Structure 1
């Protein structure tokens, strides 16, 4: 086997050795692993092989890159995934979706800006393509987390923001934007969520500290007052940390119990 062939096939063996060193605690979580030149010397391989092994582990999700800061070991996922159910809850800070999130906090400042929504969000919001909307961005995590666990982006129509200017403020008061919207309309908001998944983009990989090979769970929430869509929210989280849970109800016509055929009476 030539050196070139060895480099092409040997990166998986090097990746396995790096993985074993990570498992053994050779390098601490939260600090960068050695650079490529040190890795090639440690494992006695070509620089290209060492680099390819690291990229393989990034795509696998064991490592994540922070650009010039280096490549880091991704913290282990919790023993169990954190479930989101079909209930919305409210406290003095605002609304939260999922029973685990009652004590979560913002990581870094939330942002508000006028810009363009992605085509799918604009369509749900009912605004023409190219029409500006208010975009609110927020990252949240448990109190002891070192980085965001969820990224949430809200899109609100400018016609509504013009009527309720506080929606564009950094601080929207108790209950957040949902309370302000309900106060404006004098009616309750109803929510509908769609759950999907897709590859994480560069921003999500950096913020959530996940490799390119890990997908994000995407929950798109549409907020309505009556028939009017007042907000579209896109929440993203690492798919290996979260699950969606809900009760399964019997259809009263086709799966009722006792059955109408005389069995199970």
Structure 2
């Protein structure tokens, strides 16, 4: 292990132990060097590693701050789709969130990892609906949501419009397109954040996005039995967790 990695381990342990409290400004690099018996360049490399891990944040003009880690808000990944006056929603934690700007709708190639899910082949097109979702009172962005719909089903329909009307795309699928009662399934994974996700979600360095991928399957009409949408929602992984009760069998 390189010396700077050893120093990073020591500083990390001191942060966890509370030597440098969350929200506080750490000593300057030149002052940390004698504390850990090393040089300023080594301290700089160690702090860069801890910033990549999301433990500290290096600010212009102020120095290095120990990041605050607020309590995570829990999402319950259950098997229910709920309805209110605005249409379907998935979980009480997100019921009050709203679109903060007009959806962006475009047609483009299907991402490779979604090809088998949507039953498409390489080169197939999808209608891509991007939404920025958050608190309508504060304007804070909470999640980014992207829907991928097979172009052979969605292009040229209301599903490709910016405004899909009351109830959104799911009511259009069930009520207007005749795709029957929709069925959903969901999974959870994490990945590194893309630059635009970092910007919109205000992510600290090193923080990944927590992704909930939900598939929508039609039960009737010309789309019967097909996955007609993959919805990928991304959130700040340092602020959200997936949880639920542990049921004794």
TM-score band (shorter)? 0.7 to 0.9
Query: SS of the counterpart of 2:89?
Result: strand
Deviation, 1:60, is 2.8
Question: What TM-score do you get using the length of structure 1 for normalisation?
Answer: 0.69
Aligned equivalents of 2:236, 2:112: Cα separation in 1: 23
Which residue number in structure 2 is paired with residue 172 of structure 1? 164
Which residue number in structure 2 is paired with residue 30 of structure 1? none
Q: Note closer, same or farther for the CA distance 1:128–1:92 as it changes in structure 2 (3 Å cut).
A: same
Deviation, 1:179, is 1.1
- In structure 2, stretches of 5+ residues that fail to align are 220-224
Aligned equivalents of 1:71, 1:232: Cα separation in 2: 40
Query: SS of the counterpart of 1:23?
Result: coil
Which residue number in structure 1 is paired with residue 174 of structure 2? 182
Question: What TM-score do you get using the length of structure 2 for normalisation?
Answer: 0.73
Which residue number in structure 2 is paired with residue 141 of structure 1? 134
Deviation, 1:109, is 4.8
Query: SS of the counterpart of 1:81?
Result: strand
Could you report, residue by residue, the CA deviation over 1:68-113 in whole angstroms, capped at 9, with x for unpaired residues?
A: xx98765523265333322212334443211111111335553221
Contact map agreement 1:90 1:175 (CA 8 A) in 2? no
Whether 1:26 aligns to 2:24 is yes
Which residue number in structure 1 is paired with residue 84 of structure 2? 91
Which residue number in structure 1 is paired with residue 7 of structure 2? 10
Aligned equivalents of 2:141, 2:243: Cα separation in 1: 19
Which residue number in structure 2 is paired with residue 156 of structure 1? 149
Contact map agreement 2:51 2:57 (CA 8 A) in 1? yes
- In structure 1, stretches of 5+ residues that fail to align are 28-32, 251-265
Which residue number in structure 1 is paired with residue 222 of structure 2? none
Deviation, 1:154, is 0.8
Q: Note closer, same or farther for the CA distance 1:47–1:111 as it changes in structure 2 (3 Å cut).
A: farther
Aligned equivalents of 2:15, 2:140: Cα separation in 1: 24
Q: Note closer, same or farther for the CA distance 1:222–1:100 as it changes in structure 2 (3 Å cut).
A: same
Query: 84-93 or 166-175: which moved more?
Result: 84-93
Task: Give the one of 55, 74, 77 matched to 1:81.
Answer: 74
Could you report, residue by residue, the CA deviation over 1:48-77 in whole angstroms, capped at 9, with x for unpaired residues?
A: 33332333323333346899xx98765523
Query: SS of the counterpart of 2:107?
Result: strand
Whether 1:118 aligns to 2:107 is no
Q: Which has the larger radius of gyration?
A: 1
Aligned equivalents of 2:230, 2:72: Cα separation in 1: 32
Q: Note closer, same or farther for the CA distance 1:8–1:177 as it changes in structure 2 (3 Å cut).
A: closer
Deviation, 1:175, is 0.8
Aligned equivalents of 1:112, 1:193: Cα separation in 2: 23
Aligned equivalents of 1:105, 1:66: Cα separation in 2: 32
Deviation, 1:193, is 1.6
Aligned equivalents of 2:46, 2:138: Cα separation in 1: 28
